């Protein structure tokens, strides 16, 4: 059972780069009923030095958003303005790959995640998530294509968030394959439309699960239920920009942005409601309360939350041996204050948190584990880099 947490206090950091600056407030979030068990809260540890060193593998990227390794050791890197590049084994970046779908590159929108098909050796397929313009505004979309090495061919959009809405924030979006080859798509509430996260007829604020051709798996929790969007796996999410599959249990784990406070670590389960914006551990950027408090019957609690926020983006389970003591850890990128966050889990609960790379002053947008066992991160800026983390020797 989770222990009772301290009540959340107003955070001083914002969760997203385009969010308005925080302002002081004397109004705390509403208190949960005494009978509710609240989530564990991060102790906000300082960044630790002397454990890993970061070396630059590539630079000159414009707001890189995701990195994903191919079976041959090369990596695909997305740039938010709409470019996909190939990172060679020698650390050289290719010219932009041809055939990338047109993206809505405004605000937080653009080219987002990239995922490699589990059967890539047979079908050469890759998947891209991106912000797509259309009637009514824009929304998260996913395309699949065949990767030839320098171009995408047979490009097909297999998912579109509906309805499209005005604004340029909170698209999500990470792509994760489950063990059956189904594709999870994490999304956001589009910020100004947060109530949509509770509406099962709307795509905003949901995690979707689809087959690789875009069809709905028959075992989805809302398949065949009238006006409900059948691709929905879970709902009540704010803006999920970090996701990974647990290597032992096969369970999806995510981290989503809160507002001022309330970033959440979850393992979204089929058909469950994760509460946004009815419950949250944060407050609005104005300092006003959001919803009804931090807990409510029938709504899921996070496993763990951050206040102040880490502004999470990118996530990986470390399964290699190249960095001593890290095996089994969860690694999460932080945009603000900027760090690599490492969590240790025991029986599904966070037992420790350590942070690294704070001295770089960089926004960590994505994190993955390379075939060499080292950790790779991308930094989100107009001169973004791919960094390789190695243990400090001596």
* Catalytic residue IDs: 170
Asked whether the beta carbons of 15 and 280 are under 8 A apart, the reply is no
Distances (CA, A) of 36 to 3, 306, 348: 11, 19, 19
Q: Determine the Cα–Cα distance for residues 310 and 301; give it in Å rounded to an integer.
A: 18
Given a contact cutoff of 8 angstroms between Cβ atoms, the answer to whether 110 and 101 are in contact is no
The dihedrals phi and psi of 41, each to the nearest 5 degrees, come to -110, 140
- CA–centroid distance for 224 within its chain: 28
**Token pair listed for 390:** 């190695």
| Residue among 176, 180, 353 nearest 267 (CA) | 176
Nearest to 242 by CA among 228, 225, 255: 255
The residues, ordered by sequence, that sit 6+ positions from 163 with a Cβ below 8 Å of its Cβ are 136, 139, 202, 203
SS3 percent helix, strand, coil of the chain, rounded to 5, is: 5, 40, 55
């Amino acid at each position: 059972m989770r222990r009772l947490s301290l009540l959340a206090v107003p955070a001083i950091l914002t969760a997203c780069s385009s969010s308005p600056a925080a302002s002081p407030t004397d109004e705390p979030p509403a208190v949960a009923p005494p009978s509710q068990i609240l989530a564990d809260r991060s102790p906000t540890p300082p960044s630790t030095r002397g454990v890993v060193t970061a070396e630059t593998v590539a630079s000159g990227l414009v707001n890189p958003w995701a990195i994903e390794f191919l079976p041959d050791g090369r990596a695909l890197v997305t740039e938010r303005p709409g470019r996909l590049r190939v990172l060679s084994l020698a650390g050289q970046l290719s010219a932009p790959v041809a055939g990338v779908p047109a993206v809505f590159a405004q605000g937080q929108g653009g080219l987002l995640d990239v995922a490699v098909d589990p059967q890539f050796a047979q079908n050469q397929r890759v998947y891209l998530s991106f912000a797509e313009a259309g009637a009514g505004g824009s929304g998260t979309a996913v395309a699949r294509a065949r990767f030839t090495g320098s171009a995408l061919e047979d490009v097909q959009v297999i998912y579109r968030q509906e309805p499209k809405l005005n604004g340029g924030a909170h698209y999500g979006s990470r792509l994760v394959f489950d063990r059956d080859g189904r594709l999870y798509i994490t999304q956001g509430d589009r910020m100004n439309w947060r109530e949509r996260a509770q509406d099962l007829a709307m795509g905003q604020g949901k995690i979707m699960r689809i087959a690789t051709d875009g069809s709905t798996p028959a075992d989805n929790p809302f398949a065949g239920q009238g006006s409900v969007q059948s691709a929905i796996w879970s709902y009540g999410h704010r803006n999920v920009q970090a996701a990974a599959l647990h290597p032992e249990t096969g369970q999806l784990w995510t981290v989503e942005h809160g507002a001022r406070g309330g970033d959440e670590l979850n393992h979204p389960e089929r058909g469950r409601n994760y509460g946004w914006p009815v419950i949250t551990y944060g407050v609005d950027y104005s300092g006003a309360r959001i919803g009804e408090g931090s807990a409510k019957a029938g709504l899921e609690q996070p496993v763990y939350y951050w206040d102040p926020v880490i502004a999470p983006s990118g996530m990986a389970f470390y399964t290699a041996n190249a960095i001593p003591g890290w095996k089994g850890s969860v690694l999460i990128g932080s945009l603000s204050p900027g760090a690599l966050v490492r969590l240790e889990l025991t029986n599904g609960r966070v037992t420790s948190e350590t942070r690294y790379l704070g001295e770089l002053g960089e926004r960590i947008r994505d994190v993955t584990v390379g075939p060499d066992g080292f950790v790779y991160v991308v930094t989100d800026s107009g001169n973004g880099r791919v960094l390789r983390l190695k243990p400090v020797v001596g």
